[in-house]
């Protein structure tokens, strides 16, 4: 996990909105309501990629055989990366999550 240097106001509001980014569909709240805070947007984009991966995993359940395996694997990885993202927010860091940041940077 690489750390980026991102400016933030450092307030409780910024940390709360950034933390919402890693709680499933709530990633849309910081995307819509905090467009001017670079720290919040960084975490919101990563949270959005994690949420999209989760939706894809749910749709994969309809695939016979591999669907349940993909869903189980994805759920564990998403929970782990979300926990890492929340820790990053609590420490006021901008850790680049492996594989997720590459996709999030393109959004």
Q: What is the pLDDT along the chain (107 residues), one digit of tens a residue?
A: 656 667 666 689 999 999 999 999 999 999 999 888 999 999 999 999 999 999 999 999 999 989 999 999 999 999 999 999 999 999 999 999 999 999 999 98
What six digits make up the tokens of 57?
């995993």
- ∠ CA 52-74-83, nearest 5°, is 80
2: β partners: 96
pTM equals 0.89
Q: What is the pLDDT of residue 97?
A: 94
- Residue 72 to residue 49: CA distance in whole angstroms: 18
- C-alpha radius of gyration, the chain, whole number: 14
Q: What is the pLDDT of residue 5?
A: 63
Q: What is the pLDDT of residue 7?
A: 62
Tell which phi-psi region holds residue 45, choosing left (phi > 0), alpha (psi between -120 and 50) or beta: alpha
- Residue 73 to residue 9: CA distance in whole angstroms: 36
Q: What is the pLDDT of residue 3?
A: 62
Contacts of 23 (CB under 8 A, 6+ apart): 47, 82
């Amino acid at each position: 996990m690489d750390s980026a240097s991102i400016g933030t106001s450092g307030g409780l509001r910024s940390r709360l909105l950034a933390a919402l980014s890693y709680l499933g569909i709530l990633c849309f709240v910081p995307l819509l309501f905090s467009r001017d805070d670079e720290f919040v947007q960084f975490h919101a984009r990563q949270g959005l990629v994690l949420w999209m991966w989760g939706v894809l995993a749910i749709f994969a359940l309809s695939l016979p055989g591999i669907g349940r395996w993909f869903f189980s694997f994805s759920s564990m990885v998403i929970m782990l990366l979300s926990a890492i993202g929340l820790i990053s927010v609590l420490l006021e860091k901008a850790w680049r999550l492996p594989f997720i940041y590459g996709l999030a940077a393109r959004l």
